Amino acid sequence: QVQLVESGGGLVQAGGSLRLSCAASGRTFNRYYMGWFRQAPGKDRELVAASDWSGGSTDYADSVKGRFTISRDNAKNMVYLQMNSLKPEDTAVYYCAASIRHLKWGYNNWGQGTQVTVSS
């Protein structure tokens, strides 16, 4: 098990940038795939970006490719999501999550979420 705490959300104008951070507890952090999910009101939770243990293999939702970048610092037990060129449709609660099983599924450790609001 790993405990996750997100930070860095807020209100930003369209075209702006935000960087989300996720602090993880536990000595086995570098064994986990890490992902960022988001959930907008009335919509299903979706996987936005994911990274393997090294950061060498990543995956992004089509809607954020070229705008969002996931990175991790295993020495600090941190995961980041750099979000550029933000759009109003990026507005959602963003969750950090960990999976021991796979890059795209098996996420069963979740943070509490951080709100991102993009104004037009």
- In tens digits, the chain (120 residues) has pLDDT values of 899 999 999 999 999 999 999 999 987 888 999 999 999 999 999 999 999 999 999 999 999 999 999 999 999 999 999 999 999 999 999 999 999 999 999 999 999 999 999 999
Say what the pLDDT of residue 73 is: 95
- The region, left, alpha or beta by phi > 0 then psi within -120 to 50, assigned to residue 90 is alpha
User: CA-to-CA distance for 92 and 120, rounded, in angstroms?
Assistant: 14
The residue assigned the tokens 């992902």 is 35
Cα(20)–Cα(76) distance, integer angstroms = 15
Sequence length of the chain is: 120
Q: What is the pLDDT of residue 54?
A: 92
